[in-house]
Amino acid sequence: MAVREVVVGSRIGLHGRPAATLVRVAAAQRVPVRIAVAGQEPVAASSIIAVLALGARGGDMVTVEADGEGAEAALEAVAAVLARDLDAESADV
């Protein structure tokens, strides 16, 4: 199993738009990706309800994990989205 820790880059955290972006990227991967906040069980990163329920805020450390062929590439894609400040990017639009 591949595992990576990532700091949530979005200032407000994984709320509406950043969560939806994360879910789209996770769902597009060839392997299931799970995400967890410290002290919580991992949830499917492809589920908007599960991701919102994590309550991850900006600056929180989250753990993402995947298993199977393509797991490292999946984590790379998901980690790249998590690390970005999607709140700032949406303000520029």
Nearest CA-CA partner of 18 in 71, 57, 73: 57
Q: Which of 11, 15, 17, 84 is catalytic?
A: 15
Contact 53, 44 (CB under 8 A): no
| Euclidean distance between CA atoms 24 and 27, whole angstroms | 5
Told to judge if 15 belongs to the known catalytic residues of this protein, a careful annotator would answer: yes
Q: Which residues are part of the catalytic machinery?
A: 15
